[in-house]
Structure 1
Amino acid sequence: MADAFSSSSETVIQRSINFLGKEKTSEENLEEFYQIRKTINFITEHGFTKVALQFPDELLVDSVGVAEEIQRNFNGKIFILGDTSYGSCCVDEVAAEHAGVDCIVHYGAACLSPSTRLPLMYVFERRPLDVEACASSFRELHQDTQSHVIVLYDVNYHHAIHEVQALLSPDYPNLVVSRLTVEGQWCYSHGGMDAPCGDGGFSKEEDRQRIHQFGRQIHLKAGLSVADYRIFYVGREGATLRNFMMTWNRCTFCSFDPVSMATRTESVAVNQALMKRYYAIERARDAAVVGILVGTLGVADYLAVIRQLKQTIRAAGKRSYVFAMGKLNVPKLANFPEIDIFVLVACPENSLLDSREFYKPVVTPFEMEVACNRNRVWSQEYVTDFRHLLPGGRSHVPPSDQQEGDEVDVSLITGTLRNLMGQDPAESSLGSSVVLRNQTLTVSDPNSAAAFLAARSWRGLEPRLGETGVTKAVRGRRGIAIAYEDEGTSA
């Protein structure tokens, strides 16, 4: 395959990219894999006339076939949503509202974040699972039949978990199998208006406590917490497993990969990941200018947590700027060198962004609060769902009322002294980022992006209004930068 950075312009333009995606599903298997009859019943029962079908990139190959099958029994309009604005695990309500639809059918992997605007139905990809091999791996890892174990799983294996439970429950009385459910009245598939998916193995005993997190319900015995259980995860390594491990980092995790049929213990990686996250918190404490990245427009309460972040950052004497730029990548964030650190507001699975390739670290709202809120300390608790940080949430910590800025500590990165609280920009004598005193003197806040721009040797193209003479327009060059048409071929 040709190198993407080849010196030949013709090669770059004509080169092909091999995409190893999912093979197209046969017509006879579309009903089984995409639950077309159930989807049609959902649409017709609620009288929807415009429906958006949201597919992740790996399932787009089947999108037309699924839409055609639904259209045969539906007189309304169907829209296919691809290339989602943010993560494909989230419901793209903004793109759906642009089409004026009445509901969304979301296919494939999902973070199960609550939907707030449109009725929603989830259709998971029914990936194959060797039930016997999964149960056998569980028994090898948990030879004590009295062990307290929670079974978590990727949503795409939901269809087969009840078979795994049927094989293990007779021998493991303390086994707890999680159940998929989604908060809010708009989700008709799990919780909401329809019956919950499966019974999850939950009894009606009153001596059980219910935990709801990340679209899962877990019923624990009275007097026990999640930390008292071992966790067995069914699914591939990825964002979902990483999210569980970071949140319940005191638990021992084991996983079964249905593709490679491998079983392993995952506990060692958590400590390394937590140390990396703590380093990012120290970078956040040293930062003077913070960029708040909007990584979702659909998860409930995302605006509320942005407002809270702005207040927390301001109280810590830092400047904040809000950025909405869709899917993140290195070149996008590299356009803002004045930002010392970014904080990403996204769903729990997309919040733990690996920022090794980025020029500046990207932290979560919880990590930014640890850095800026003196009342919140770094402990064994780790919060990836930003809704829990809001007032009324299970992990909410009110900000400190102490406004003194004379307490200092030592940065673990630079080794220099830093102010714990800094100066509130609202109380600064400048009153704004830049104050024009006269035509030659400008006083700026040293913690603002404007001060960073003023200190740069090159600040972009100057308009120079009235200083540039008017000239007649001339024909410019044609072609691409590497080989304009009027340039010679010789070196």
Structure 2
Amino acid sequence: MTNYQFNIHQILNKIREQGAKIVGLQFPEGLKVHATELAHKIEDETGAMVLISGDPCYGACDLSDNVMEGMVDLLVHFGHTPLPIDYKVPTLFVEAHYQLESMEILKEALKFLEGKKKIGLVTTTQHLHFLEDAAHFLEENGMEVLMKAGVGTLPGQVLGCNFSSVQDLPVDAFLYMGSGNFHPLGIKLSTQKPVIIADPYLNQARNIDEFTDRILRIRFARITRAKEANKFGILISSKEGQCRWELAKDLKKMIYNEGKEAYLIFMNEINPPSLLPYMDLDAFIVTACPRIAIDDSKMYKKPLLTPQELEIVLGRREWEDYEMDEIKY
């Protein structure tokens, strides 16, 4: 079972400081199990009323502030750090720290880093607090650790839509601390450097290369199929941190200039049922969260493409220049 720690005193102090009478709580899926426990403690300690957001949440780009505006005095958002966008209600961002029980996973990762001297150390929000210990461990083993801040990110932090903290970093390899393959895939494609994963959830170290090859084969198949498309749907998110309206309009013009049809579709939640009314279209372009087209593609009957993949479909980009989609804040 995962072990997360919240700074409850930070939350209580902020509520008292704001004099908040109604407090909204928002969690990503993996942390929703803590919602009622924290709500009980907040109401018991402060007397404020708590409103829990039950909607899916995918990051700091996806706050409930637009829905809760006028309902809550303060929104407490767990598990992410703020992005440089305007939030509609006062928002406290609370990091959810995963507690690493030992450094054994880093010892495993050393086997994959043999011969590498300069290491870029990277992670996501929930693991930022032990980057310092990890850096010290690597340095004790004769390596030089490099980290830098990105656009809207802290040193060593990557988002699912933003890999600016790893780009142009002069390292021999990257060590990613965290779960899953999407973030290290983005690091690999953004830098073309070796990426080793130290996964504290699976207690496993691995190289991203095998997964990268498999994903690129899947993407190539989607792109090849979309080359036969004549009618495209361009999906635009109503979530403020994911809405790329100008990009969507540019893509529509690009498709039109190739003699094909394109339709702009504005929605809050992109999922298979939401696209069912548009099955007369041949393919869809996702201008919302870049993860949707990559992580969820097998759920859709029609190809879901990123804007960069559309460029390949239309002959405006070579396959050899494939890159991940990013949201530039």
Q: Do the two structures share a fold, i.e. TM-score over 0.5?
A: yes
Quote the offset at 1:361 in angstroms. 0.7
Q: Trace 1:73-88 onto structure 2 (pairs within 5 A).
A: 73-74=45-46, 77-84=49-56, 87=58
Please tell me whether residue 354 in structure 1 is matched to residue 324 in structure 2: no
Work out whether 1:174 is the aligned partner of 2:149.
no
Other-structure match for 1:382: 323
Task: State how 1:318-357 maps to structure 2 within 5 Å.
Answer: 318-357=260-299
Query: Aligned residue for 1:237?
Result: 180
Provide the identity percentage: 22
How far apart, CA to CA, are the structure 2 residues paired with 1:364 and 1:143? 35
Give the number of the structure with larger relative contact order, counting CA–CA contacts within 8 Å between residues 6 or more apart. Answer: 2
Deviations 1:382-437 (A, max 9, x none): 0321438xxxxxxxxxxxxxxxxxxxxxxxxxxxxxxxxxxxxxxxxxxxxxxxxx
Q: Counterpart of 2:104 in 1: which secondary structure?
A: helix
1:46 shift after superposition: 5.7
Matches within 5 A, 1:90-129: 90-93=61-64, 96-108=67-79, 110=80, 114-118=84-88, 119-129=90-100
Aligned residue type for 2:93 = Y
- TM score, norm. by length of structure 1: 0.57
Contact 1:114 1:299 in 2 (8 A): no
Q: Tell me the SS of whatever aligns to 2:50.
A: strand
Q: Structure 2: which amino acid aligns with 1:143?
A: E
Instruction: Give the whole-Å Cα distance in 2 for the aligned partners of 1:170 and 1:369.
Output: 46
| 1:247 and 2:190 matched | yes
Count residues in correspondence.
327
Q: Which structure has the highest helix share of the two?
A: 2
1:355 deviation in Å? Answer: 1.9
Q: Looking at CA atoms only, which structure, 1 or 2, has the larger radius of gyration?
A: 1
C-alpha distance in structure 2 between counterparts of 1:213 and 1:92, whole Å: 16
- Helix, strand or coil: the match of 1:292? strand
The SS at the match of 2:217 is: helix
Which letter does structure 1 place at the counterpart of 2:254? T
Q: Alpha carbons of 1:372 and 1:97: their partners in 2 closer, same or farther (altered >3 Å)?
A: farther
Pair 1:147–1:214, CA change in 2 (3 A): farther
Q: Give the C-alpha shift of residue 339 in structure 1.
A: 0.5
Matched, 1:160 2:160: no
- 2:16 and 2:151 map into 1 onto residues whose CA distance is 22
Q: Which residue number corresponds to residue 8 of structure 2?
A: 36
Structure 1, unaligned runs of 5 or more: 1-21, 26-31, 184-189, 191-195, 202-210, 389-491
CA contact (8 A) 1:56 1:82 kept: no
Bigger mean CA offset, 301-310 vs 147-156: 301-310
**Cα-Cα RMSD:** 3.5
Shift in Å, 1:363: 0.7
Question: Counterpart of 2:199?
Answer: 257
Paired residue type of 1:153: T
Deviations 1:164-184 (A, max 9, x none): 2222224445212456x773x
Q: CA deviation at 1:344?
A: 1.4
Residues 356, 303 of structure 1: alpha-carbon distance in 2 compared, 3 angstrom cutoff: same
Call closer, same or farther: CA 1:329–1:259 in 2, change over 3 Å: same
CA contact (8 A) 2:25 2:75 kept: yes
Cα distance in 1, alignment partners of residues 236 and 61 from structure 2: 13
Q: Do the aligned residues in 2 keep the contact of 1:294 with 1:344 (CA within 8 Å)?
A: yes
The runs of 5 or more residues in structure 2 that have no matched partner are: none
- 89-98 or 252-261, larger mean C-alpha shift: 89-98
Number of the residue aligned with 2:39? 67
Of residues 253, 268, 283, the one that matches 2:210 is 268
CA contact (8 A) 1:243 1:349 kept: no
The range that moved more, 358-367 or 168-177, is 168-177
Normalising by structure 2, we get a TM-score of 0.82
